Amino acid sequence: MTRRLRLGVFGIGALGFTALLVWGLAGLPSFGSFDGRYGQLLARVTVPERTATSSIAVTTFDFRGIDTLGEEFILFTAAVGMLVLLRVQRAGEEVAAEPAGARRPTAGSKALRSVATALVGPVLVLGIYIVAHGHLTPGGGFQGGVILMTSFLLVYLAGTHIHLGRGRPIDVMEASEAAGAAGFALIGVGGLVLAGTFLENFLPFGQMGSLISGGVIPLLNVSVGLEVMGALLVILGELLDQRLLIGRHR
């Protein structure tokens, strides 16, 4: 199929699709006048029933906690899928591990490495802050996990990439990912055992606005933070390894 023909076919399809899309969107309530009862109800009961202030975190981890459990396992499965996809290839290639002496800096520029080193600490603290305050202010395990991952990526950028063969840092990342995923499920089981329902809150709600409040929501945030950090580090670590492998073949 030539590119011109393909563009023509796409043009016809896109016109039809756009017409349908506009027709569908025209049927939505006009911007700003949405009046969903369910969402308003959840926003109203957040503070009195859960003593947490972030309605989004409470919806994510409490009112719709089962959804989030599934969401967390989507991420887990994706990281495992990537490992399977990329490691099968490597097993067939028998790449010799790089000798520990042959470390080379990942970034040539000294300025870049200095800035990266200086940023590791603050970014790590910011990530922990975002995870810990997930139930009070915007943020939470997913967002904080990504920031935590960034701080470890900065370590990589500032230092040297070491292909350690066995005992690689990626094993620690996998452990963090698994601990996060298992933590969420175990807190859910804790609710089943101690309160009678899966993911039901079984801790005291605490003082509103304080760091320890909202029952199990902060714990769920921490486990999601660990899971997201581990999964993204596994994914990025694998992709970076691939880059190095491809580079060595040239």
Partner 1 sequence: MGFLPYAVAAWLFVVGLYGIVTSRNLIHLVVCLAVVQASTYVLLLAVGYRSGGAAPIFADIPTSRKVVDPIVATLTLTDVVVEATVAALLLSLAVQAHRRFGTLDPDELGAMRG
**Rule CB under 8 A: is residue 95 a binding residue for partner 1?**
no
* Residue whose CB is less far from partner 1, 140 or 191: 140
Half-sphere exposure of 99 (CA within 13 A, CB side): 2
Say whether 196 sits in a helix, a strand or coil: coil
Work out which of 4, 5, 28, 99 binds partner 1, going by CB under 8 A.
28
Instruction: Compute the distance between CA of residue 64 and CA of residue 43 in angstroms, rounded to an integer.
Output: 13
The closest alpha carbon to 103, from 144, 156, 166, belongs to 156
Query: Is position 229 an interface residue for partner 1 (rule: CB under 8 A)?
Result: no
Work out whether 23 is an interface residue with partner 1 (CB under 8 A): no
Query: Within positions 113 to 132, which residues make up the interface with partner 1, using CB under 8 A?
Result: none
Count of chain residues binding partner 1 (CB under 8 A): 61
Which residues, listed in sequence order, are joined to residue 161 by a DSSP beta bridge?
A: 104
Tell me: does residue 12 bind partner 1 (CB under 8 A).
no
Q: Does 223 bind partner 1 (CB under 8 A)?
A: no
Nearer CB in complex with partner 1: 109/137: 137
The 3 state secondary structure assigned to 77-90 is HHHHHHHHHHHHHH
- Residue holding tokens 């926003």? 43
Residues 232 and 183 sit within 8 Å (Cβ to Cβ): no
Nearer to partner 1, 44 or 103 (CB): 44
Point out which span in 77-85, 171-179, 180-188, 214-222 binds partner 1 (CB under 8 A). Answer: 77-85
Q: Is 47 in the site for partner 1 (CB under 8 A)?
A: yes
User: Across-strand partners of 105?
Assistant: 160
Nearer to partner 1, 111 or 246 (CB): 246
How many Cβ atoms are within 10 Å of 111's Cβ, its own excluded?
A: 8
CA neighbours within 13 Å on the CB side: how many for 59? Answer: 11
Q: Which of 12, 16, 66, 74 binds partner 1 (CB under 8 A)?
A: 74
**In contact, 233 and 178? CB cutoff 8 Å:** no
**Interaction site with partner 1 (CB under 8 A):** 3, 6-7, 10, 14, 17-18, 21-22, 25-26, 28-36, 38-40, 42-44, 46-48, 53-56, 58-60, 64, 67-68, 71, 74-75, 77-79, 81-82, 85-86, 89, 136-138, 142, 209, 232, 235, 238-239, 242, 246
